[in-house]
């Protein structure tokens, strides 16, 4: 593999972990282990955990991660690697907002506290470009670049109409350039963003605000980002009376007292400069009704009381009362209850056995049959704007049922807290665990066998115009007879035409094709690139473009080369070279693989599809987890959802889940 220097133009966050304490007692960092997990698509798909090494010279842990919207970062601090002692979860957006390289204290579970600094690394030195790169779906209006945002912890106020923004039925939008927060209904009323430069309107007034420190002795709310301003921290414009945080003073556009003039001039400017499609923003249907407003006020009141010890007991009682009404359990006519159906009954019939992995509740039993149950919290799906991904996964798995190379979906159902996927149980776990344990013993025939199953799965998906986009060993499951089955369709994309393309950036960094990294339009060949990475990993037990820091992987994938394994056969080398061709138009596809010498008899794709040959791995494939582990495991149950999250869940639109369920047992 060729060496490279940092030439990555993509921004990333660098975190320094410099101190950790439990209560009043500081812990020696050299005696601790730090685990970093990153979850994309709201934990529907995840990368491998990282264990940064302690730097004895600089006395800190250091790790980096890309600025990808919705990414969740989970830190685990260990005294014993087999047990997580303290955890902390945050989002990439929150890290970016604290990216000033100042050491701050962050609270972990069980009274743990860490001192960390966050730095936003911008290779092109353009911070705003980095923040805009957080998402591909920015809505432009009047110079602003709005991203959808749900506020579910503490309410904020719309900067325009001053109404509350909280819950999932009151979507808000935050400008990535100036932090302005508004309702979706109010976007058309906002004044220009501070970044707007109207070259065709040189007479646009630029009158700065005159902010002075306001000695407030009660909490206020910022007129710009809508968040609470604690006592003695408010700044008020002496001319127009606008009240803001200290940090918002530089984010407010210099239009003090000239709002109406600015709006009029912008309307004139729009007539002279017709916006392109990227700048056209369509306001969603009005979500506000009298019932929703009344319910939200009640839930916001409960949410606020939950934060105060003296009022928490009464707030919990009120929340339980509303929850029962929402579930319909108190309704004598059960047929009209949204959640009283076969789906709810099915959940009560399941017996939980073991935890299988993150995002999976575990192995469950129903009528003497074993299944895997994947449970997704509804509020987390919407917080990350991943409802469409969840719905797409459900639809694709429903449509490909019965294919022997894809894990079977038996049911999708939901209660008011979660969405459940009841899936075929793979008793030997994911292929990555098997590869780590036994991959050094693979011969060329084993590599052909296992890779052929993945190729057959992808070939079938592509025939249905579905692109997977997240192929990796963790997303392939292993059966007792050595067959592999493709799973986890959270990033899949379904086209309406074989020539369809997309430009969404997604996937796991070591398996992403170069055209995705280059932000080019891409299509089905990206899956074949990932297959090439997997075949190489089966032979070498590492990916060909690996680097400890994921921001370097992009450079290696686009410009780097790799070395072929010494034990590889000529036909496998030809396949790897064809699959890892950087030009997608020249990359091997299903027809090239079917006609290759590598996948000819006895391991032809046709024979694999017909199931006429046996797995060349001669040793028994172990269960994962092993049967004896089931007996020793503590009873598995669904995790408890905190009361504040339940409050937010109660604001969800029931119609989003009304036609989601199906059962095919």
Q: Residue 287 above 50 pLDDT?
A: no
Tell me which of 470, 527, 570, 607 is the catalytic residue.
470
Q: With helix as H, strand as E and coil as C, how does 575-629 read?
A: HHHHHCCCCCCCCCCHHHHHCCCCCCCCCCHHHHHHCCCCCCCCCCCCCCCCHHH
Least confident of 22-26, 339-343, 462-466, 574-578: 339-343
Q: Residue 362 above 80 pLDDT?
A: no
What pLDDT score was predicted for residue 525?
97
Q: Residue 136 above 60 pLDDT?
A: no
In the chain, where the domains are located: 12-126, 135-279, 290-336, 342-426+637-660, 431-610
d(CA 17, CA 29): 9
Q: Average pLDDT in the 526-535 region?
A: 97
The CATH class that applies to domain 135-279 reads alpha beta
pLDDT band at 268 (very low <50, low <70, confident <90, very high): low
pLDDT band at 344 (very low <50, low <70, confident <90, very high): low
What pLDDT score was predicted for residue 452?
96
Structure token digits, residue 657: 């889940």
- Domain 431-610 matching CATH 3.40.50.10490: the answer reads no
Q: With helix as H, strand as E and coil as C, how does 461-507 read?
A: HHHCCEECCCCCHHHEEECCCCCEEECCCCCCEECCCCCCCECCCCC
Distances (CA, A) of 489 to 301, 373, 398: 39, 15, 11
Express each pLDDT in 152-167 by its tens digit. 777 788 888 878 887 7
d(CA 379, CA 4): 42
- CA gyration radius, the chain: 27
What pLDDT score was predicted for residue 164?
80
What pLDDT score was predicted for residue 321?
84
Of all residues in the chain, what percent carry a pLDDT higher than 90?
Answer: 28
Name, of 302-306, 308-312, 520-524, the range with top average pLDDT.
520-524
- Domain 12-126 matching CATH 3.40.50.300: the answer reads no
The burial of 656, by beta-carbon neighbours within 10 Å (0-12 exposed, 13-18 middle, 19 or more buried), is given as middle
Q: Residue 394 above 90 pLDDT?
A: yes
Q: Average pLDDT in the 367-387 region?
A: 82
What pLDDT score was predicted for residue 262?
54
What pLDDT score was predicted for residue 253?
80
Least confident of 2-11, 305-314, 522-531, 576-585: 2-11
Do 605 and 454 meet the contact criterion of CB atoms below 8 Å apart? no
Q: Average pLDDT in the 5-32 region?
A: 78
pLDDT band at 3 (very low <50, low <70, confident <90, very high): very low
Least confident of 120-134, 204-218, 455-469: 120-134
Least confident of 33-47, 180-194, 381-395, 444-458: 33-47
**126 compared with 550, residue with greater pLDDT:** 550
Provide φ and ψ at 413, rounded to 5°: -150, 175
What pLDDT score was predicted for residue 273?
47
pLDDT band at 183 (very low <50, low <70, confident <90, very high): confident
Write the CB contacts of 519 (distance below 8 Å, at least 6 apart in sequence). 503, 505
Do 605 and 452 meet the contact criterion of CB atoms below 8 Å apart? yes
Q: Average pLDDT in the 628-653 region?
A: 75
What pLDDT score was predicted for residue 454?
97
**What's domain 342-426+637-660's superfamily in CATH?**
Phosphorylase Kinase; domain 1 (3.30.200.20)
Q: Half-sphere exposure of residue 574, counting CA atoms within 13 Å on the CB side? A: 10
Q: Residue 42 above 50 pLDDT?
A: no
Q: Average pLDDT in the 414-418 region?
A: 85
What pLDDT score was predicted for residue 284?
33
What pLDDT score was predicted for residue 343?
63
Q: Residue 358 above 80 pLDDT?
A: no
pLDDT band at 646 (very low <50, low <70, confident <90, very high): confident
Q: Average pLDDT in the 293-297 region?
A: 69
Is 179 an annotated catalytic residue?
no
Residue showing tokens 């050094």: 440
Structure token digits, residue 616: 């060349």
Q: Residue 126 above 70 pLDDT?
A: no
Q: Across the chain, what does the average pLDDT equal?
A: 79
- At residue 254, the 3 state secondary structure works out as coil
569 cis-preceded (ω within 30 degrees of 0): no
Q: Residue 569 above 60 pLDDT?
A: yes
């Amino acid at each position: 593999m060729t060496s490279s220097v940092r030439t990555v133009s993509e921004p990333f966050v660098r975190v320094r972990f410099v101190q950790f304490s439990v209560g009043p007692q500081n812990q020696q960092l050299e005696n601790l282990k730090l685990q970093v997990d990153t979850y994309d698509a709201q934990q529907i798909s995840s990368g491998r955990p990282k264990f940064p090494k302690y730097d004895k010279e600089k006395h800190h842990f250091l790790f980096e991660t890309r600025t990808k919207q919705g990414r969740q970062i989970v830190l685990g601090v260990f005294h014993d690697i087999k047990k997580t002692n303290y955890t902390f979860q945050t989002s990439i957006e929150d890290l970016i907002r604290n990216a000033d390289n100042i050491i701050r204290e962050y609270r972990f579970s069980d009274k743990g506290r860490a001192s960390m600094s966050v730095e936003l690394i911008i290779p092109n030195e353009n911070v705003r470009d980095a923040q805009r790169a957080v998402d591909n779906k920015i809505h432009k209006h009047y110079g602003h670049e709005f991203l959808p945002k749900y506020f579910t912890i503490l309410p904020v106020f719309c900067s325009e109409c001053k109404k509350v923004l909280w819950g999932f039925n009151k979507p808000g939008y935050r400008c990535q350039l100036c932090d302005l927060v508004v309702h979706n209904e109010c976007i058309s009323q906002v004044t220009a963003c501070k970044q707007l430069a109207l070259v065709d309107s040189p007479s646009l007034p630029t009158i700065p605000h005159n902010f002075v420190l306001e000695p407030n002795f009660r909490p206020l709310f910022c007129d710009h980002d809508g968040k609470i301003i604690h006592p003695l921290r408010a700044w008020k414009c002496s001319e127009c009376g606008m009240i803001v945080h200290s940090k918002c003073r530089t984010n407010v556009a210099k239009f003090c007292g000239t709002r109406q003039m600015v709006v009029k001039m912008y309307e004139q400017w729009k007539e002279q400069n017709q916006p392109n499609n990227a700048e056209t923003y369509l306001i969603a249907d009005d979500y506000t009704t009298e019932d929703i407003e009344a319910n939200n006020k009640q839930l916001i009141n409960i949410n606020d009381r939950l934060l105060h010890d003296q009022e928490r007991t009464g707030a919990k009682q009120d929340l339980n009362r509303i929850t029962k009404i929402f579930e319909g359990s108190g309704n004598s006519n059960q047929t009209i209850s949204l959640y009283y159906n076969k789906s709810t009954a099915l959940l009560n019939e399941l017996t939980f056995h073991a935890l299988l992995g993150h995002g999976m509740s575990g192995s469950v039993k129903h009528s003497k049959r074993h299944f895997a149950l994947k449970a997704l919290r509804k509020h987390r799906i919407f917080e990350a704007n991943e409802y469409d991904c969840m719905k797409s996964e459900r639809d694709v798995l429903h449509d490909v049922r019965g294919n022997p190379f894809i894990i079977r979906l038996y049911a999708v159902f939901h209660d008011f807290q979660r969405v459940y996927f009841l899936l075929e149980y793979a008793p030997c776990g994911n292929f990555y665990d098997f590869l780590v344990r036994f991959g050094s013993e693979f011969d060329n025939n084993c590599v052909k066998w296992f890779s052929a199953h993945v190729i057959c799965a992808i070939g079938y998906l592509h025939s249905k115009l579905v692109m997977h986009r997240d192929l990796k060993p963790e997303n392939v499951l292993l059966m007792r007879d050595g067959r592999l089955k493709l799973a986890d369709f959270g990033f899949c994309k379904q086209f309406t035409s074989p020539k369809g393309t997309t430009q969404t950036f997604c996937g796991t960094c070591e398996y992403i094709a170069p055209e995705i990294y280059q932000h080019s339009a891409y299509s089905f060949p990206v899956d074949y690139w990932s297959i090439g990475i997997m075949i190489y990993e089966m032979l070498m037990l590492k990916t060909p473009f690996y680097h400890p820091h994921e921001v370097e992987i992009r450079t290696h994938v686009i410009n780097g080369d790799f070395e072929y394994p010494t034990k590889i056969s000529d036909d496998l080398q030809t396949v790897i070279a064809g699959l890892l061709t950087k030009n997608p138009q020249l990359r091997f596809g299903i027809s090239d693989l079917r006609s290759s010498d590598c996948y000819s008899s006895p391991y032809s794709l046709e024979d694999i599809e017909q199931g006429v040959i046996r797995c060349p791995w001669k040793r028994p494939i172990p269960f994962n987890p092993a049967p004896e582990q089931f007996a020793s495991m503590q009873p598995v149950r669904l995790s408890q959802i905190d009361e504040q999250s339940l409050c937010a869940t109660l604001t969800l639109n029931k119609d989003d889940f009304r036609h989601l369920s199906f059962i095919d047992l």
